[in-house]
Amino acid sequence: MNDASDPLIFMMGQYEAIIPQDRVYSSNHLWLKELEPDLFRVGFTSYSVRLLQDVYFLEWRVEAPTSLRLKQEIGEIESSKALSTLYSPAEGELVQFNEHLLDDPTPINTDCYGTGWLYDLRTSAIMKRPSEYVAHLDEGWEKTQNMLKGQIN
Amino acid sequence: MAGKKLTVVISQAQGKHPVRSKLEEEVAAALLMDPQVSVSLVPHLYDMSADHTGLVFLRSLKGPFVLLGWQYPRALHWTLDRQQIRGHMGITELIEEIDDDEEAIDDQPSQAIGSTEMPNRNIYCIDLRVSSNPQEYIEEIHRIYEEENQQLVQLTFGSLTNGNGSSNGVAQNGSATNGSSSNGNSGLTFDLTQYILNPAESDTPSAKEEIAQFKATQPPIKRRWYPVIDYSRCTNCMECIDFCLFGVYGVDNLDRILVEEQDNCKKGCPACSRVCPENAIIFPGHKTPAIAGAEGEVAGLKIDLSKLFGGSDDDAVDLAIRERDAELMADGREMVGKSVGLAERHTTSSRCRGERDELDDLMDELDSLGI
């Protein structure tokens, strides 16, 4: 049954957030897929995208390549419902951005685990395994819902 | 009877933002056909350097005008002030909603030092994020047009002496407040007319396309990051100059605080704004409404997910110290933590009375100068 290659699922109310098992995760809701040792492709998890919804604007505040500190502010994102500053998931070197997204960020919505990737990051930081990320989501879900409600009221 | 045309200036959004661009074009296209209005389009106000022709154009405006931009009205107003484009804050009815219990704060007696050399005219700053409906802006501009023309009529039929400080036509009499050319109506030089949209040129194929093309011909400008001081709040307490270790702040020849070296400022760092006791320091591009120049404690216009994506929820002073240390480190300097430039109010609760006396002296000095 529980094939190691099957994606995990985290239920956000009725919505199934898919968590693929072929990559690792950061606590600030990004996936990191290893391209070569210590070089990762980074993108939003479906959990992030569900909260953001229809992203239409993405902008980076740093220029690649550049070194990053953990939680450094590196960009801004905006959708019709939400906005956020974007922070580095780890200390490392930002190698390149996905330039296609700057003209049209819709792949973030339509293919967040593929063509909607954000940037490549060289890091040796230790990330969460898929099951650990799901546990992290589970733990924070109530707080997240309260935060969203608090801002809507 | 035809009143004087009202000048409307649109400060464009930063970057390629499709939704914002579209609204700018819709508003500009509607105003272009409007006989009551002269509409201009300048690059993003905050990013223009002091000698940018867009600012020279704004300085050349002698009468009242409306500025539409993508920032809180306070941020727009004080960015203009910083560039010697001054006037009274025109009251616009098109604003985001503020909680009623927050408005009472203004009743306290103010120790603010105020702006200087303020010409007698109104500048109406409107935040384009308030509504996505172009019609709402058009209606508000018509309301302002009526308001301004009424004031003009009152001036004409009322007292002709200049004693009445509230009438608005006075500024057109050519007091050279800005240091720029003061030859009245024909103040626009050839260069500057490029910002004024001309209806004659835009009958085909559609005004909106024409405006989009016009925007495409303007060279992109570099993003900037620096503090803007709201002198209606600033008490000249000097906490910002003490806290900032990057030489951004200075004082003028009246010992008033000013942003002297704006490009020394560290991109993204709002630390001085967090330590300002009067919340008088605005970073228009910061995501936190209180820092970006919102009135009172309003909620953001959209849900802010930054905490989820890695932002912090420390208290303001701790954040400021961390932000400053991070910038010091990036410059290869020693981190100082809270050992430098923090006023006593952040460590003890009471304020030093001695400083107050000096400040009082300064206030008296300013009063005696009639500012």
Best A54, A60, A79, A85 residue to mutate vs chain B (most B CBs within 10 Å): A85
Q: Which pLDDT does position B244 carry in this prediction?
A: 95
**A147 in a structural domain:** no
Confidence of residue A146 (pLDDT cuts 50, 70, 90): confident
- H or E stretch at A48: helix A46-52
Angle between helix B207-217 and B18-32 (nearest 10): 120
- For B303, the 3-state DSSP assignment is strand
- For B269, the 3-state DSSP assignment is coil
pLDDT one-digit tens code per residue, B161-205: 443 333 333 333 333 333 333 333 444 444 567 788 876 554 556
- H or E stretch at B210: helix B207-217
What part of B 67-126 touches A (C-beta under 8 Å)?
none
Q: Residues 6 or more apart from B189 whose CB is under 8 A from it?
A: B60, B181
A44: domain CATH number? 2.40.50.100
**A133 in a structural domain:** no
Q: How many CB atoms lie within 10 A of CB A119?
A: 24
Q: Which pLDDT does position B365 carry in this prediction?
A: 58
Per the CB < 8 A criterion, the answer to whether B257 and B267 are in contact is no
Q: Residues 6 or more apart from B13 whose CB is under 8 A from it?
A: B20, B21, B24, B44, B70, B128
- H or E stretch at A79: strand A73-79
Domain count, chain A: 1
Dihedral, B347, B350, B354, B360 alpha carbons, nearest 10: 120
Question: CB-based contact (8 Å) between A91 and chain B?
Answer: no
Confidence of residue A133 (pLDDT cuts 50, 70, 90): very high
Question: CB-based contact (8 Å) between A141 and chain B?
Answer: no
Tokens of B358: 């000096």
Domain span including residue A95: 28-127
pLDDT one-digit tens code per residue, B215-267: 888 888 888 999 999 999 999 999 999 999 999 999 999 999 999 999 999 98
Question: CB-based contact (8 Å) between B17 and chain A?
Answer: yes
Pick the residue with more confidence: B228 or A84? B228
Q: Do A83 and B303 touch (CB under 8 A)?
A: yes
Q: Residues 6 or more apart from A110 whose CB is under 8 A from it?
A: A116
**A17 in a structural domain:** no
Dihedral, B149, B150, B151, B156 alpha carbons, nearest 10: 90
In one letter, which amino acid is A105?
P
Confidence of residue A149 (pLDDT cuts 50, 70, 90): confident
Q: Which pLDDT does position A68 carry in this prediction?
A: 93
**A138 in a structural domain:** no
- H or E stretch at A86: strand A82-87
- H or E stretch at B292: helix B289-292
B-chain residues near A78 (CB < 8 A) = 302
The percent helix, strand, coil of chain A (3-state, each to 5) is 25, 40, 35
Bridge partners (DSSP) of residue A77 are A58, A84
Percent of chain A with pLDDT over 70: 95
pLDDT one-digit tens code per residue, A26-62: 999 999 999 999 999 999 999 999 998 889 889 898 9
Q: List, for chain B, all residue ranges whose pLDDT scores fall below the cut of 50.
A: 1, 100-106, 158-190, 202, 297-299, 348-356, 370-371
Among partner residues A56, A86, A152, which is closest to B303 by beta-carbon distance? A152
**Helix (H) and strand (E) counts in chain A:** 4, 11
Tokens of B240: 């910002």
A-chain residues near B299 (CB < 8 A) = 151
Q: Which pLDDT does position B309 carry in this prediction?
A: 86
**A1 in a structural domain:** no
Measured over the CA atoms of residue B163, residue B169, residue B175 and residue B179, the dihedral's sign is positive
d(CA A18, CA B351): 55
Tokens of B80: 């203009």
**A16 in a structural domain:** no
Bridge partners (DSSP) of residue B189 are none
Task: Locate the DSSP E strands across A26-65.
Answer: 30-36, 39-44, 55-60
A-chain residues near B323 (CB < 8 A) = none
Question: CB-based contact (8 Å) between B159 and chain A?
Answer: no
Question: CB-based contact (8 Å) between B19 and chain A?
Answer: yes
Angle between helix B134-157 and B18-32 (nearest 10): 40
Nearest C-alpha neighbor of A47 from the set A80, A20, A87, A86: A20
Phi, psi angle pair for B61, to nearest 5°: -75, 120
In one letter, which amino acid is B96?
E
Per the CB < 8 A criterion, the answer to whether B290 and B297 are in contact is yes
Q: In the predicted model, is pLDDT for residue A87 greater than 60?
A: yes
d(CA B58, CA B80): 9
Tokens of A149: 């409600």
Q: Which pLDDT does position B201 carry in this prediction?
A: 56
Distance of CA B61 to the CA centre of its chain: 16
Q: Which pLDDT does position B342 carry in this prediction?
A: 84
DSSP H helical ranges for B41-115: 53-60, 73-82, 100-103
- For B106, the 3-state DSSP assignment is helix
Q: How many CB atoms lie within 10 A of CB B139?
A: 13
Q: Residues 6 or more apart from B302 whose CB is under 8 A from it?
A: A78, A81, A82, A83
Q: How many CB pairs under 8 A join A and B?
A: 68
d(CA A51, CA A145): 10
**A153 in a structural domain:** no
Q: Which pLDDT does position B153 carry in this prediction?
A: 62
Nearest C-alpha neighbor of B215 from the set B12, B351, B38, B5: B12
